[in-house]
Chain A
């Protein structure tokens, strides 16, 4: 899928000023961005998801314009109208909902949450695919880090996004588990065909996941040769 983005965003906090100035044109299905914390990686993902509005530029995903500062026809689609999935660093699972309700959260747009035991074949499919069926009625605080991560992944993928954004998805996990979850992610991507942008501060993620590699430093994106 074609990714075409170039945008700027300035942030002022007290005396300090931070400028994000990102350009990325790629048809790679897997993009890995590495960089120190505070380089603007998360803000870039948030802008793509529509959670942060850029100051100027454009964001196009798979031929659809999510944002443009075009003088006559400016567009800023809300996050709800972008076919994007987002995996937050600390998973952002809803603490008052069990695993089943968390995974099914986005499937209903109504004013109330799915019932605790509500059956939905899409949710069941993902519970099975991630080996979480026995934990369906557990709450996030009762889960291990890896189980929370899987729940968050299922919650994003059940919505069938075109593009999955992953914000340091493995940072909080131990090395063995990282390995397992990378493999799972790899498998799901090959089967479902979504594109993904993953940010990390771990070289190992880059080596293991391959794809197109970038380095983010002080709000700017630099293309890197693939690590071997």
Chain B
């Protein structure tokens, strides 16, 4: 079980790599978008929220199809990437990162928006009157008061990215050792009748997701912090 060349571990490491990168991307973008939607007053705010929430309700295969259309060789973004940088994202692990990021994004920006909105406006006003710049207020008041909610969303997003199947399969395919993530490997193992492998993979991902969910529950807003 602890053989590092075991395909199960290869798949787990690939899943963790993909989920890790996607978490980095969704964290930065999710906090920025959450802040924009919480504090910004601009036309089309509700529409933007709706469009960005779509990945939560659309079937992942539909998202995968959209991404293929966008990023594929004929797609507008895919063509541009190919011409400008010689990049191709389809059937690569980077493509899997994009797929996982899109799917996990609502799980990150929604709690971030809620966390920012739950902060009393007067605190930021008080800080302004005390002469502290807006950017310093973000680091000294806004973020410290919102981080629990944000972190809970990030963990949920990570778990979602780790388990991503549909969109990943559409965009990145299932190349063992290259783009075959754990959840895709489970499907392949079952299809091939390899029950022993499937069971091992399923146990590995179940334990990993349990740990993440426990962490997310512990950090969820409403819980009293263990110490101030």
Chain A interface (Cβ < 8 Å from any Cβ of B)? 46, 49-51, 78-80, 82, 84-86, 88, 90, 92, 94-96, 98, 105-106, 109-113, 139, 155-156, 159
Contacts and interface: CB of A to CB of B under 8 A. Distances in A.
A91 B141 CA distance: 15
Contacts of B200: none
B133 A92 contact: no
Contacts of A139: 228
B178 interface: no
A111 B125 CA distance: 17
A86 B136 contact: no
Contacts of A82: 129
Contact of A111 (B128, B129, B139): B139
Q: Is the interface of A mostly helix, strand, loop or mixed?
A: loop
Nearest to A141: B228
B144 A105 contact: no
Contacts of B130: 105-106, 155-156, 159
A111 B122 contact: no
Interface of B: 120, 122-123, 125-133, 135-136, 139-141, 144-145, 228
Contacts of B140: 105, 111-113
Contacts, number: 70
Given A92-B120, A92-B122, A95-B145, A110 B129 contact: no
A86 B126 contact: yes
Contacts of A156: 129-130
Contact of B129 (A51, A98, A109, A112): A51
Contacts of B136: 109-111
A112 B139 contact: yes
Contacts of A159: 130-131
Contacts of A88: 122, 125-126
Contact of A51 (B120, B125, B135): B125
B133 A80 contact: yes
A155 B131 CA distance: 12
